[in-house]
Amino acid sequence: MKASEVESIYRTESRKVFATLVRLLRDFDAAEEAMHDAFAAAMQQWPEQGVPDNPTAWLISTGRFKAVDVIRRRQRLSDLQPEVARRLAEIESANDSLAKHEIQDDQLRLIFTCCHPAIAPKVQVPLTLREVCGMTTEEIAHAFLVPSPTMAQRIVRGKAKIRDAGIPYVVPSLSDISQRLDSVLSVIYLVFNEGYSASRGESLTRADLSDEAIRLARLLLDLLPDPEVMGLLALMLLHESRRAARQSAQGDIIVLEDQDRRLWDQGLINEGIRLVERSLRSKRFGAYTIQAAISAVHSEAETPAATDWAQIVALYDVLMRADPSPVVELNRAVAIAMRDDIPTGLAIIDDILDRGELQHYYLAHSARGEFLRRLGKHQDARFAFEQALALTTQESERRFLRAKLDTIGGATSGQ
């Protein structure tokens, strides 16, 4: 057995192990330490003994006993406070043969715990991304456009609130779920987005995060067949269907209109469209379902020229009423440019930027640069692409923008 096999299991299973250990230990830091101890033990034992039939259960069991040993070393059991003694007894009595569905449920429990109403709204989503999904504090800070130390403080406060308030590690009753559903859906979608279009690094995508988000959405839909849960799952499936077509063999970005649509996963498309239709029939849908409907229109077009841009603009009009934002307005502007003409769409983008919105959003400048390039305004296009390039740290995106600059003779040194 190679170390890379343990590393692969770490990437796919570590957050499941962590979630269960949090429930058993009721302590984030102790669970993190126990998880790493368990993987260290696996690195030592599995090369000689082989990988267990259920590596996740083995890691949880090992981590639990490592935590017991730590507690015992710190203080003899007879000297422990009653609460700590009770917790230790619970840990020791936990069933060694954990069922797969119990492990899966633990991640859902932890998401709902991190999104408890007692925790400040601005802390709920970052805390969940860090503790449930394993995103780094730096990645989360970048996504929320705040300094890393500030984000670290928020996450620490969230963990302390769970501990001090005794927030239970449970999936709430159906009557209480609605209070947390928006936050839970936001978390799942942010995880998917980081996997579908990584915020930094060499690789454009992280399939492990996208797969995890889709798995969690399926679990949530089994628990709560809500139209917006259907809409979110549909949206992610429809995006995921295009993964194989989004990059070249060299890892370069291929934009939607240039993708080989034969590579799109028709099974995911069909499942996503069925979910969109179910949600729309409920007449209780929201922003995720509308976004999924837009993605479905793209998915149903056999060629770029066959895209029903009029329907897409109409759906963006609905989305602007349901969940207005500068990003939605930007996407609507692109659709209007494709439906009507480029100058009309470009005027809307210029208006958004003139208002001071999306000045730090590289896609706004990139879209503006592409429209200017198509209009033959190369000097203005070059400036827009250079602004976009300065705003992204993702290497695939940077190569894409450099290639755009090359097409107009505007590659610059140092970029």
Considering the domain boundaries, does residue 17 fall inside one?
yes
413 pLDDT more than 50? no
pLDDT of residue 100: 45
* Percent of the chain with pLDDT strictly greater than 70: 87
Instruction: Band the pLDDT of 351: cuts 50, 70, 90.
Output: very high
pLDDT recorded at residue 101: 44
Answer yes or no: are the C-beta atoms of 333 and 345 closer than 8 Å: yes
> 240-259, pLDDT tens digit by residue?
999 999 999 888 999 999 99
Residue 42 lies in a domain: yes
pLDDT digits (tens, 9 = 90+) for 11-44: 888 888 888 888 888 788 888 899 999 999 999 8
At 395, is the pLDDT very low, low, confident or very high (cuts 50, 70, 90)? confident
* Residues facing 200 on adjacent strands: 393
Calculate the dihedral angle through the C-alpha atoms of 362, 120, 193, 334, rounding to the nearest 10 degrees.
-50
pLDDT digits (tens, 9 = 90+) for 181-193: 888 898 889 888 8
Average pLDDT over residues 101-123: 78
In a domain, 92, yes or no: yes
Q: Given this model, what pLDDT does residue 1 score?
A: 60
Kindly report, residue by residue over 141-151, the tens digit of the pLDDT. 877 778 899 99
Q: Say if 70 falls within a structural domain.
A: yes
- Domain contains 140: no
On whether residue 252 sits in a domain, the answer given is: no
Predicted confidence at residue 410, as pLDDT, reads 46
SS (H, E, C) the chain: CCHHHHHHHHHHHHHHHHHHHHHHHCCHHHHHHHHHHHHHHHHHHHHHHCCCCCHHHHHHHHHHHHHHHHHHHHCCHHHCCHHHHHHHHHHHHCCCCCCHHHHHHHHHHHHHHHCCCCCCHHHHHHHHHHHCCCCCHHHHHHHHCCCHHHHHHHHHHHHHHHHHHCCCCCCCCHHHHHHHHHHHHHHHHHHHHHHHCCCEECCCCCHHHHHHHHHHHHHHHHHCCCHHHHHHHHHHHHHHCCHHHCECCCCCECCHHHCCHHHCCHHHHHHHHHHHHHHHHHCCCCHHHHHHHHHHHHHHCCCHHHCCHHHHHHHHHHHHHHCCCHHHHHHHHHHHHHHCCHHHHHHHHHHHHHCCCCCCCHHHHHHHHHHHHHCCCHHHHHHHHHHHHHCCEEHHHHHHHHHHHHHCCCCCCCC
| pLDDT of 297 strictly over 50 | yes
pLDDT value of residue 411? 42
Q: What is the pLDDT of residue 202?
A: 56
Q: Provide the number of structural domains found in the chain.
A: 1
Which range scores top for mean pLDDT: 95-99, 280-284, 309-313, 354-358? 309-313
pLDDT at residue 235 in the model: 98
Average pLDDT, the chain: 85
pLDDT, position 226? 92
pLDDT tens digit string along 321-336?
999 999 999 999 999 9
Cβ(205)–Cβ(243) under 8 Å?
Answer: yes
What is the pLDDT, as a whole number, of residue 97? 41
| Domain-embedded: residue 2 | yes
Q: 60 in a domain, yes or no?
A: yes
pLDDT grade, residue 72 (50/70/90)?
A: low
Query: Residue 77 and residue 57: Cα distance in Å, rounded?
Result: 26
- Number of other CB atoms surrounding residue 257 within 10 Å: 11
Burial grade of 84 (CB within 10 A; 0-12, 13-18, 19 or more): middle
Residue range(s) defining the domain that contains residue 93? 1-98
User: Of the given ranges (194-198, 253-257, 289-293, 396-400), which has the lowest mean pLDDT?
Assistant: 194-198
